[in-house]
Structure formats: structure tokens, C-alpha cells
Structure 1
């Protein structure tokens, strides 16, 4: 007769928890400050780019606009996850709200980058007069805002460890926001370069070229975010952690008959393990074998004799 027993537990403690969001109030406050600064600069650059005829400046403004949306989604994630952290309607908590928001933001970014490319190509065939002095001034202001935003976010970004020594207080949302403002700074530099080249060397064609370059930067970021978030949302198997689980349970008396490892949030993994053994151990013993594996927070084990 086949005997079996099973249990689910939080790998980090005996208490059974479903909070896998790892968000901080400090991160929310800093992101809100950066969102406000970026939104103000976005409006100034879009209006100035349209008024002064600079596609590079307009592209920088739209690039900032996409990150305003990203920051807004980040703040929504903080608040929604905190509000519903103990809501029983969510089987594994609200850890994936961040991935869902990031996926939606990435789709919007891809659409904006496509519109920027179309507009830039149009400017090649229908060039417009550019008020260089005014456009350069606004682009410099945008760059300064990006640098200030990076300074506001930098402290949390620098407290970064590798995966093997990852701690629950790290805020990946805030680190992503830090990378966004760096991308904005790069786009501002491209706009300034194009405007200076047009003013002093007559290379006006560089302005729409920099618009295309900015669009490509956005589309690359969007594709990377789509790939990352979709793997979380679709519960893609985490191969590295799966191999670590197999190695930890490697024993002549243990046969793993079924194993699934997937993301519950940005920094939390779940595992379902089915084991067959001639001499079954206690569930606590199996837990101790797995507790050193990074990010593994929720484990269900089924043991067959």
C-alpha cells in the first residue's frame, strides 16, 4: 500500500505567510518625488520641442513621459500590494502585481517608441526650422532634472547584493526607477548633441536621427521588461533554482518524481516537490535541506513511501 504525507510551509519560518511583495514606504516616497519632477519636465520638453521644432527634444519629452507612466505604475504597485497584502482572495499574495504593472507599462512604451520612429522619419522628408538656443536650454534643464532624480534614488540602488546574498529589504522597483532616470539622462544628452551639431555644424539631420536613437532605447527597454515580466506572469520554470533543489535533495534514498519552481513575486519563489523514498524523513528535515536556496519562500512537499 502506498503511504504518503504532505505539507506546505514558508521556508524561512514555521509561520505560513503569503506576503511576497517586499515593498518599502521609503521607496514609494522617493518615487513620488521623482515622478513629480519628471512630469513637470516632460510637459516643458514636449511643449518646447513642438514650439521650437526639435524632434530630439520632443523625443526626450516623450521618453520622460513613458517613465512618468512607469513611476505611476510603481507607486500604484506599492499601494495596491500594501492594501491587499493579507487579502485571502489572492492565493499567493500580491507579489505579482509588480510584474503585471511592468508588463502593461512595457506595452505602452513599445507603442510610444513606434510613434516616435514614425515622426522622426517624417521629419527627414519634411524638415522644420529649429530654434536652437531655446531648445538647447530646455534639453539641459531636462538633463539636470534627470541627474537630480538619479541622486534622489541612488542610495537604495547602491545597496545591492548578488542573488546568492539577496535580502528582503532590497527594492527592485526602486532600482528599476533608478535605471529609468539614467536612460532619460542618456536621451537628454543625445538631444543636446543633436541640437549643438545642428546649430554649429549645420547638421540638422542629426535631430531626427537622435529621435530614432531615443525610440530604439525605449523599445529595447520595453522588450527587456516584456520578457522579464511575462516569464513571471506565465509561471515560467526557474531552471537555476530547480537545479539547486535537485542538488540539495540528491540522495540515494530520495527520488524526485515531480518538481515545479516558479515566481511568486520579484524576489520570491515557490516550489512543489513530490518525493519517493524507502525511508521517508520528517518534513522538517527536508525543509532544512532547502533553506539555504536563495529566494525560495514557499514550498509544498509530498512524500511517498
Structure 2
């Protein structure tokens, strides 16, 4: 399974260049088309695509960094490079959406003439290119927050293109120039809505937030191991969205270290197979802390 995921990630990274090239071409086309048609939604989408091109390059660099092994500078490795990138990409996307909404509101008060056919042509080109980019990144977006943030950038562009096409048709048929800023607001609002869960999840990981696992269940399972009679001072955190690190103090009956090793192995096995923990640190104690709760809370810092 791990090998399959690694190969899948390599495949996704191999498509970054094609996606970046497509985005650069879309950006140039939309800037030119927006200027000649007078369409705010095209120009705003061009800025959006420009940001996407940068985010794709940054995502690629982060994915390469994340493959580095642990060293003396980062003993847990470099997997958080992708989490940081996903967080920054998502923040940038929300800021872009807010800027577009403000400009769109201004356009309602000061409508400008728009060339519908030019707007339509460029939007159709953008839709085809963005759809191709989204297909290339789709598989990698399912299990990787960094790829998902990049994928959302591309999908938001595709949605923008669809909305711009609809707006272009309405402008051409009915001369409803107010449709252009309306489309901008609707698309920007939807993009911000879709991006917020990524911001929330990546922020939780960066803040050493605990994964959603059953701590009482862990305590119950560990107490069933022969030789363990209490579990306390538990900490769990996420290196990235897949890798959980876990530490705990366990009270053992007085025994030799060699006798405790099988207990350690059993604890590791339970935590890995049942709770998905990738790295476990156990501190064995005899009587110290035997009456403490599973989560450390003594009214002071850890």
C-alpha cells in the first residue's frame, strides 16, 4: 500500500510541469482577452491563474522537499513542507477571492461595456485547459492536502470558466453587463467556501493539534496487555495528514528491561494496527504518575 501511494505521488508530481505550462498559457490568453473584451471576470481569472501557476510550482518544490529523510535538523523528516504549502496556498486563494469580490461590487456601481464573443472564446479555451489540468491532478488530490489545495485552485479556475461562459452568453443575448461582476462574486464565494476546510485542517496540524482518535479506547486496550496497570501523560500529534506520532507514560509492574521489551512491542502493534500510529514513544514507570489521568492536565505547561 505504501509503495502504491509513493508511486501515485511520483505520478502526480510528474504532471506538475504540464499543468503549470497550461496555466501560464491560460493566464496570458485571459489577460489579453480581458483587456480587449473589458471583462472583469476574465481579468480577475487571469490573476487567479497567475497565482495558481505560482502555487503549482511551490507545491512541486514542497513535494520534493517532503521526500527527504530525517536528519539532525528535522528528526521527524520534512513532510510538513507540503502542509505549510497547502496552508499558504489556501490563504492566498481566500485573499484573492476577497479582492475579486470587492472589485466586483465596485463594478456594480460603475458597469463597463463588455465584448461578449471575445469573453466567450477565451473562457471556452480556459475551460478546456483547466479541465485537462484538473484531470491530471485528480488522483493525487484524494490523499494529499498539498495536492488537494493545488487541485482546488485548478477546479476553481474551471468553475470560473463555466461561469464566465454563462455570463458571456447572457451578455451577448440580453446585454446584461451586470452578470459579469455577479459571476465573479458567486465563483469567488464558492472558492473561499471550498478552501476553508483545508485552512482549518492544515492549521490544526501546524498547531500540533491532536488527531481524532479514541484515547479512552487506547487506554482500555493497553491496560489489557499483561504487565501494564496504568496509562497517563498521553500526547498525540500529526506530522502531516497521514502520520500520527504518539507518546505516553505507562506504569508497569517492576521488571527487568529485557522483560519489558515484549510489552513495548505489543503496545506498538496495538497502536499501529488499530489506531494508525506511525511512531510511538513509551516511558515506563513503576509508581510515578499512577494516579494521573490519561491526558496531562496539572494546571501548568507540559
Matches of 1:52 and 1:41, distance apart in 2:
16
Q: 1:213 to 1:66 in 2, by over 3 A?
A: farther
Match of residue 264, structure 1, among 236, 239, 246:
239
> What is the rounded CA distance, in whole Å, between the counterparts of 1:304 and 1:178 in structure 2?
48
Q: Classify 1:179/1:218 alpha carbon distance in 2 versus 1 (closer, same or farther; 3 Å).
A: closer
Q: Find the partner of 2:212 among 219, 239, 244.
A: 239
**1:52 offset after TM fit, Å?**
1.2
CA contact (8 A) 1:73 1:101 kept: yes
The reply on whether 1:254 has 2:254 as its aligned counterpart is no
Higher relative contact order (CA 8 A, sep 6+): 1
Distance 2:197 2:47 in 1: 19
Picking from 279, 286, 290, the partner of 2:271 is: 290
Deviates more, 1:274-283 or 1:292-301: 274-283
**How do 1:60-99 and structure 2 match up within 5 A?**
60-82=45-67, 84-99=68-83
How does the TM-score come out when normalised to structure 1?
0.80
- Distance in 2 (CA, whole Å) between partners of 1:263 and 1:22 is 23
2:57 equivalent to 1:57: no
**Cα drift, residue 304 of structure 1:** 1.4
Distance 1:243 1:50 in 2: 61
CA deviation digits over 1:221-268, x for unaligned, max 9?
A: 443222111111110111325455335324395321111111112311
The equivalent of 1:17 in structure 2 is none
Rg larger for? 2
Deviations 1:46-93 (A, max 9, x none): 3321331112222332332332232122111022223x4343201211
Q: Which moved more, 1:260-269 or 1:146-155?
A: 146-155
Q: Provide Cα deviations, 1:253-295, integer angstroms capped at 9, x if missing partner.
A: 5321111111112311100111123377521121122221354
Structure-2 separation of matches of 1:243 and 1:202: 64
- In structure 2, the CA distance between the partners of 1:172 and 1:109, relative to structure 1 (3 Å rule), is closer
Question: Distance between the aligned counterparts of 2:40 and 2:124, measured in 1?
Answer: 15
Q: Which residue of 2 aligns with 1:145?
A: 129
After TM superposition, the structure 1 stretch with the greater mean CA deviation from structure 2, 195-204 or 228-237, is: 195-204
- Do the aligned partners of residues 217 and 247 (structure 1) sit closer, same or farther apart at CA in structure 2, a change above 3 Å counting? farther
How many residue pairs get aligned? The number is: 274
The answer for unaligned runs of 5 or more in structure 1 is 1-11, 13-20, 161-169
Report the secondary structure of 2:15's partner residue: helix
8 Å Cα contact 2:112-2:177 kept in structure 1: no
Where does structure 2 lack aligned partners over 5 or more consecutive residues?
287-302
For 1:216, the equivalent position in structure 2 comes to 189
